[in-house]
Amino acid sequence: MAFSFSSASDEVVVIGSFDKLAARLLQADRLGGAQIDPREEVFVYTGDGTGVVRPDGQGVALEVQVYDTAGTPVGRKVAIGELKVSSITDVTNPPYDITVDLTRPDSVEQVPNTTFLKARWDFNDGSTLTAVGKGVSQLIPLTDGSALMADAASMEIAGGTGRFEGARGIVSTIGTVFVAAGQDPPFNQPGARVYQRSIETFKVVSGKNAAKV
């Protein structure tokens, strides 16, 4: 099969479309290794968005554009997160002076849950997913005086519509906010605006495959 192009820009558009298709196929092939059963859907998205710290200084509401791994927009996310600590120093020096001992299979060292998150994904096809969960946070100082504020949460799917009607499963999300040198972290800064980038992993069983309980 031969293709003809009326302009160089047409050629760039077609090549770009093939590149995105190849990226999606490669992603699907790689993610198949994370699928334990054919009835389980596995997908990974990235996101970037902005938010405002709420009046009590311990939570932020985010509006996020969501993309597949080829960079194509697939929907939007609304998320509300809370950081439950008494001081920002509680997340500056993890892992909380805990020594991880892998020679002891009888127990697992405990770290406090510091991040609590709820979110809804509104996908381009009109379907939605809602999830809620908790996790951990770290403020990571960098050598130039700036810092990264990182949060990770594991979330249970609490509801869905469209192709996710009746779905069950787990979502893991990791987000990072950059804190410039000389600036305070957004914790306890009511009204502060934040910019976050995230990666989100979904393991979902559709309503037609999930047994009613």
In this structure, which amino acid lies at residue 90? D
Q: What per-residue confidence (pLDDT) applies to 5? A: 44
pLDDT along the chain (213 residues), means of 10: 49 52 50 86 95 91 95 96 87 72 88 92 97 94 94 96 96 95 89 95 95 85
Report if residue 212 sits inside a domain: no
Q: Are residues 169 and 151 in the same domain?
A: yes
The pLDDT assigned to 154 comes to: 97
Say if 210 falls within a structural domain. Answer: no
Within 13 Å, how many C-alpha atoms sit on residue 98's CB side? 11
Confidence at residue 20, expressed as pLDDT on a 0 to 100 scale: 53
Backbone angles phi, psi at 27, to 5 degrees: -60, -45
Nearest Cα to Cα of residue 151 among 68, 90, 82, 67: 82
Answer yes or no: do 29 and 100 share one domain. Answer: no
Distance CA 142, CA 144 (A): 6
Encoded tokens for 79: 């998320």
Is residue 51 domain-shared with residue 107, that is, in the same domain? yes
pLDDT of residue 30: 57
What pLDDT was estimated at residue 6? Answer: 53
pTM: 0.82
Determine, yes or no, domain membership for 116.
yes
| Residue 41 sits in the same domain as residue 110 | yes
Report the number of distinct structural domains present in the chain: 2
Provide the CATH number for the domain around residue 160: 2.40.480
Give whole-number Cα distances, 174 to 75, 81, 198, in Å. 18, 12, 5
Looking at the structure, tell me whether residues 22 and 91 fall in a common domain: no
The pLDDT value given to residue 98: 77
* Alpha-carbon span 70 to 76, nearest angstrom: 16
**Residues 105, 152 within the same domain:** yes
**Residue 91 and residue 187 in one domain:** yes
Label residue 98 exposed, middle or buried (CB < 10 Å: 0-12, 13-18, 19+): exposed
Same domain (yes/no): 67, 13: no
Q: Which two tokens stand for residue 194?
A: 């934040």
Domain that holds residue 23: 1-34
Asked if residue 74 belongs to a domain, the reply is yes
